[in-house]
């Protein structure tokens, strides 16, 4: 699968968006089939033309120039997500930081993305949306597309009242050198555990406990795939604060369907090594 990766240019967007990637195909016979894995990031896929079929943990998109534009948002998921892409495709995927997409929607994240995959239509009814689609896909120059996309995103930006407290909670949940109890994290932002749970779920899409489990998995995954190819798996688990090897293996089997050793032997890296996928043959 050939993709091209770009990074936000606007200073404000750099805070909320990690990267973009483009996928374009030319053949009606094109097909790719892969697993994506649980992530703390949020993703939005904008297709020039497409239709889709969505099941619990699977999504299939067919590209066809006769079809209307299609936008799919990924919610949180704790099992491998099976993705099939077929036909003539022209799409951009926006990879948001864990709370990033919330700044570009008017409804809470949980209402917009309560399932692993769903069609996103909030922007469709705005007067600026169709001109954006036409101008964005009207050029084949990706740098020009980034400029058009970022101008459009900036028009959608809105502050989030709970940003500071949730940002603090996210930092504490992903501090694997200091395993802060959820109760202490709630206290640090002056919320009861129940209110913290509800607020976190509303804007992040999972509970704080589930988020930390996924964050720990992604931390170990990044550690192994990007920086420390030659470290032993026991070291990788220890550095992500898995408290023992059996728990490390259990989490990987739950989130990927494979043991860590088998998983690392079957996945590939894309998008400047940031996108980790397992091709299905």
Q: Is the pLDDT of residue 267 over 80?
A: yes
Query: 142 and 7, same structural domain?
Result: yes
The beta strands (E) that lie in the chain are given as 3-6, 17-24, 31-36, 42-47, 51-55, 58-63, 70-74, 81-87, 90-96, 117-119, 268-270, 275-279
Query: 187 and 126, same structural domain?
Result: no
Query: 145 and 9, same structural domain?
Result: yes
User: Which pLDDT belongs to residue 230?
Assistant: 56
What is the mean predicted confidence (pLDDT) over 137-155? 97
Query: 175 and 146, same structural domain?
Result: no
Query: 187 and 125, same structural domain?
Result: no
Q: Is the pLDDT of residue 231 over 70?
A: no
Query: 184 and 148, same structural domain?
Result: no
* CATH code, 199: 1.10.10.60
Of 156, 191, 219, the one marking the end of a domain is: 156
Quote the pTM value: 0.94
Residue 279 resides in a domain: no
Query: 178 and 140, same structural domain?
Result: no
Average pLDDT for the chain: 92
What is the mean predicted confidence (pLDDT) over 9-22? 97
User: Which pLDDT belongs to residue 1?
Assistant: 66
Structurally, the chain folds into a number of domains equal to 2
* CATH code, 52: 2.60.120
Decide: residue 90, CB within 10 A, 0-12 exposed, 13-18 middle, 19+ buried.
buried
Domain range for residue 58?
Answer: 3-156
Query: 61 and 118, same structural domain?
Result: yes
């Amino acid at each position: 699968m050939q993709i091209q990766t770009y990074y936000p240019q606007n200073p404000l967007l750099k805070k909320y968006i990690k990267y973009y990637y483009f996928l374009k195909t030319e053949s009606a016979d094109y097909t790719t089939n892969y697993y994506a894995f649980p992530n703390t990031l949020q993703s939005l896929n904008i297709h020039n033309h497409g239709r889709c079929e969505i099941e619990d943990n699977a999504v299939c998109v067919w590209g066809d120039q006769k079809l209307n534009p299609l936008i799919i948002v990924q919610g949180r998921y704790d099992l491998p997500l099976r993705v099939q892409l077929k036909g003539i495709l022209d799409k951009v995927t926006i990879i948001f930081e864990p709370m990033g997409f919330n700044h570009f929607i008017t409804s809470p994240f949980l209402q917009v993305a309560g399932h692993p995959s769903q069609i996103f239509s909030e922007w469709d009814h705005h007067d600026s949306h169709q001109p954006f689609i036409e101008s964005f896909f009207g050029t084949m120059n990706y740098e020009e597309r980034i400029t058009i996309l970022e101008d459009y995103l900036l028009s959608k930006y809105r502050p989030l009242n709970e940003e500071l407290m949730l940002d603090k909670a996210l930092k504490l949940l992903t501090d694997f050198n200091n395993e802060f109890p959820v109760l202490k994290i709630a206290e640090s932002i002056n919320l009861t555990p129940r209110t913290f749970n509800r607020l976190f779920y509303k804007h992040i899409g999972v509970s704080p406990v589930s988020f930390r489990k996924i964050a720990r998995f992604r931390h170990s995954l990044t550690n192994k795939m990007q920086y420390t190819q030659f470290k032993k798996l026991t070291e990788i688990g220890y550095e992500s604060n898995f408290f023992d090897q059996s728990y490390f293996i259990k989490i990987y089997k739950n989130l990927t369907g494979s043991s860590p050793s088998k998983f690392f032997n079957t996945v590939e890296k894309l998008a400047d090594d940031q996108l980790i996928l397992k091709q299905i043959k």
